[in-house]
Amino acid sequence: MSLPSFVDRFDLDLGLRDASTDPSNRPTQRMLAAAAIGMDVEDAYFAAVELREAVEWVHEGVAGGKRKLSSILGNSCDDYQRCLYYILAGRGVVQMLNDLMWLEGLLEARGRVAGKLAKRGVSTMPLVNPYVAAEPDGPVVRSADDFVQGASWSADPTLID
């Protein structure tokens, strides 16, 4: 069975592009989707999961949670995870977690599609990494497990009636 011509190069970023412009999504969700466009399928997903876990651990008071979050924000890799974090910083921990889980869902679906297309031999459009360097662009957070949590970690505006 031959594939129709419109399927010969699938755009794996299509869902992210749609989500980044959908007015029914919160602005932070649109920004997160836009920040993931062009990122490697697996790297984007696992980076979002790792960041969400670290934020969750800090929120729940898990030992090592602050160390994990500050190590993510202070690593010498590209700025993708820092970008995701700072899109959400100060918005309230509940919204941060909800938005990161929302992004995880998008990225997981993107990965499943990529896997199915690869199994079928369908080519995809090349992903153009938006980060021009593998190292940080500017100062990074000092890695520390004793940082002070601001009000956004305990007072979430989405919970106020």
Q: pLDDT tens, 104-113?
A: 999 999 999 9
pLDDT of 91 above 70: yes
- Provide the domain limits for residue 61: 14-126
Whether the CB-CB separation of 36 and 106 falls below 8 Å is answered with yes
Tracing tokens 């399928």 back to the chain, one arrives at 41
What's the mean pLDDT in 3-14? 73
Does residue 139 fall inside a structural domain?
no
Does residue 150 fall inside a structural domain?
no
Does residue 104 fall inside a structural domain?
yes
pLDDT of 55 above 80: yes
3-state secondary structure of 128: coil
Does residue 8 fall inside a structural domain?
no
Q: How many domains does the chain have?
A: 1
pTM of the model: 0.86
Does residue 87 fall inside a structural domain?
yes
The reported pLDDT for the residue numbered 131 is 82
Does residue 99 fall inside a structural domain?
yes
* Tokens describing residue 39: 């990122």
d(Cα 64, Cα 110) in Å, to the nearest integer? 31
Does residue 100 fall inside a structural domain?
yes
